[in-house]
Amino acid sequence: MPKYVHVVAHLTPDELEQRYRKADDPVERSHLQIVWRLSRGKRVREVAEVTGYCANWIRIVARRYNQHGPAVLADQRQHNKGAPSLLTGEHQQQLQRVASRKLQLMAACGLAQRSESRMGGRTGRTIHPQRGWEYLKRLGLSLQVSRPRHHKADPARQELFKCELEDADPTDPARLSSRKGWNSGRWMSIVWA
């Protein structure tokens, strides 16, 4: 047997429709559409077919609207604080002081694991090694290492090559190279500058 949901008349169906048509937030718009259709006497299954929400969620939205009015139809996710932080502000400052002193190329690999063990010792909780790396990134610390150079590289020749490359004409046919090869079951001719 089809189920109807009773909707308290905080707003008239016309006011609900007007708010639904003018809503900018997609979550609020969907919730207003649900309540508006229910206030017009539609069944839960019919509203579910039109809105794409399951019958249980439609009943939840209607119950919220009946208990608290139209204010709860807006997106409520901004009120979700999330999980509490593993480290207090003081612990984060200590970690930043220690990490910024020890953040060097050689020690960087084990720093996240050491910070994780340090965090676990201070908080008295078991902390996964990934949390150590996440806290280091949150504190603005990252590995930025210059690109390694070949031991036989000649810096003077590299600079000369860069200058010649900048001065050269990009449309010069002498700069174009080509290669023929077998690719994806057919012969390809590739030309690049």
Please report which residue ranges of the chain form alpha helices under DSSP H: 13-22, 26-39, 44-51, 55-68, 89-102, 108-123, 129-138, 155-167
pLDDT in tens, 42-86: 999 999 999 999 999 999 999 999 999 988 888 888 888 887 777
Q: What is the mean pLDDT of residues 1-6?
A: 68
Largest CA distance in the chain: 86
CB atoms near residue 181 (< 10 Å)? 8
Q: How far apart are CA 115 and CA 97, in angstroms?
A: 11
Nearest to 111 by CA among 95, 127, 89, 126: 95
Give one word for 69, left, alpha or beta, with left for phi > 0 and alpha for psi -120 to 50.
left
Buried b (16+ CB within 10 A) or exposed e, 149-173: eeeeeeeeeeeeeeeeeeeeeeeee
**Mean pLDDT rounded to a whole number for the chain:** 76
pLDDT in tens, 129-166: 677 777 777 777 666 666 777 878 888 888 887 777 77
pTM of the full predicted structure?
0.47
CA-to-CA separations, 157 to 148, 152, 153, 182, in angstroms, rounded: 17, 11, 8, 35
The pLDDT assigned to 33 comes to 94
CB 64 within 8 A of CB 10: no
CA atoms 110, 115, 121, 127: torsion sign: negative
pLDDT in tens, 91-138: 778 777 776 666 543 344 455 555 555 555 666 667 776 777 777 777
The pLDDT assigned to 100 comes to 66
